[in-house]
């Protein structure tokens, strides 16, 4: 469904802001605007969110670059080359079009899906859903410049994803990580597991099994970091039409999900959560989300709504209703 004129106008206006602000915090504005629009928010609600949220954003400051980027992998993880990547992907889109650019880019960028704690991939997925070319360019540049790969082994074990978490988790329960943001703790967890030569990959892997784990772990803890694993899985699913090697992509996603969980210091118990079943309908939940000013609530409800349609699970509705009630 094509975004409304109000949504497109506000997202276009928001593109003057850098994808990050403060200490590498993600700018959620374009994603939240798109989610609101899809959930049926009135134009005034979207304008209100833009006006209130944008006050904390930082304008993008183009810088003179010594040389243009000539290949996607030339300056991965170099935050200072964000604007150069903007120019690069803008040129690629003009020459090759959306589909070819996405396929070529994702072949290189997917190993760094943990960039900005999945936010670059999430922004790209929303841009793809909206068929918004300039947002696709921004999201690809964001992903490339904040690229974050993991180094833990890709060897496999004959275990389910839940059994792997049970085996790996104890070393991280109540672990004290160095100061930093989510992605810093994910990298620290990855370094520990890499040094231990820990195997975290299940022999059989599917997106549904990963999505189910993310939903279960969030239901147990209602943790802020784990929220991003649900929205990250949603984003990954949207991008799958542009992925050639699906099994490898799933294993890369699972690396990031494992590191996100370990980075919380929480324990995983394969049991029902304390979230109560809801009597709310999806429409009531979406209406409540549209009245909410918390961009994380807006995005989580939208992801749960979309994922529930695909995986046919009412558990997503319980999670969505719980965050509405908590705010």
pLDDT score, position 277: 85
pLDDT score, position 327: 52
Average pLDDT over residues 179-206: 98
Q: Specify the pairing of strand 25-26 against strand 20-21.
A: antiparallel
- The distance in angstroms from the start CA to the end CA of the chain is 29
pLDDT score, position 274: 65
pLDDT score, position 316: 96
Q: Whole-number mean pLDDT of the chain?
A: 95
Instruction: Look up residue 171 and give its DSSP letter.
Output: G
pLDDT score, position 169: 96
pLDDT for residue 271 is more than 70 = no
pLDDT score, position 67: 86
What's phi and psi for 26, nearest 5 deg? -75, 140
What's phi and psi for 44, nearest 5 deg? -65, -35
Q: Of all residues in the chain, what percent carry a pLDDT higher than 90?
A: 93
Dump pLDDT digits (tens) for 275-319.
778 999 999 999 999 999 999 999 999 999 999 999 999 999 999
Q: Of all residues in the chain, what percent carry a pLDDT higher than 70?
A: 98
How big is the CA angle at 73 (ends 68 and 75), to the nearest 5 degrees?
55
DSSP bridge pairs for 17: 59
Average pLDDT over residues 61-72: 87
Question: Rounded to whole angstroms, what are the CA distances from 78 to 2, 137, 142, 269?
Answer: 33, 17, 10, 38
Helix (H, G, I), strand (E, B) or coil at 74: coil
Average pLDDT over residues 42-51: 98
| Domain ranges within the chain, ordered by starting residue | 5-145, 153-262, 282-325
Higher local confidence (pLDDT), 155 or 274: 155
Cβ atoms of 323 and 297 closer than 8 Å: yes
pLDDT level of residue 70 (50, 70, 90 thresholds):
very high
pLDDT score, position 124: 98
How big is the CA angle at 45 (ends 39 and 47), to the nearest 5 degrees?
120
Average pLDDT over residues 81-89: 96
pLDDT level of residue 59 (50, 70, 90 thresholds):
very high
pLDDT score, position 269: 76
pLDDT for residue 326 is more than 80 = no
């Amino acid at each position: 469904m094509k975004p409304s004129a109000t949504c497109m106008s506000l997202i276009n206006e928001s593109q003057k802001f850098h994808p990050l602000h403060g200490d590498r915090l993600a700018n959620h504005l374009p994603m939240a605007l798109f989610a609101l629009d899809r959930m049926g928010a009135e134009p005034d609600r979207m304008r209100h969110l833009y006006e209130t949220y944008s006050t904390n954003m930082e304008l993008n400051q183009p810088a003179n670059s010594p040389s243009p980027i000539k290949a996607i992998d030339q300056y991965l993880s170099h935050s200072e080359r964000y604007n150069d990547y903007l120019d690069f992907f803008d040129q690629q889109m003009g020459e090759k079009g959306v589909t070819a650019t996405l396929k070529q880019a994702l072949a290189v960028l997917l190993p760094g899906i943990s960039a900005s704690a999945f936010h670059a991939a999430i922004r790209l997925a929303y841009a793809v859903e909206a068929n918004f070319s300039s947002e696709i360019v921004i999201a690809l540049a964001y992903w490339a410049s904040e690229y974050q790969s993991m180094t833990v082994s890709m060897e496999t074990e004959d275990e389910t994803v839940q059994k792997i978490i049970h085996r790996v988790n104890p070393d991280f329960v109540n672990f004290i990580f160095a100061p930093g943001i989510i992605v810093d703790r994910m990298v620290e967890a990855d370094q520990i597991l890499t040094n231990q030569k820990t195997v975290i990959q299940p022999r059989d892997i599917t997106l549904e099994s990963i999505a189910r784990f993310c939903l279960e772990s969030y239901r147990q803890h209602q943790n802020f970091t784990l929220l991003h694993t649900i929205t990250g899985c949603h984003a990954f699913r949207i991008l799958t039409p542009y992925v050639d090697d699906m099994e490898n992509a799933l294993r890369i996603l699972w690396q990031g999900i494992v590191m996100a969980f370990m980075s919380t210091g929480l324990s995983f118990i394969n049991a029902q959560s304390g979230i109560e079943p809801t009597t709310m309908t999806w429409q009531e939940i979406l209406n409540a989300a549209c009245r909410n000013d918390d961009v994380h609530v807006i995005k989580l409800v939208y992801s749960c709504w979309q994922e529930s349609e695909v995986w046919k699970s009412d558990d997503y509705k319980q999670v969505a209703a719980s965050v509405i009630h908590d705010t």
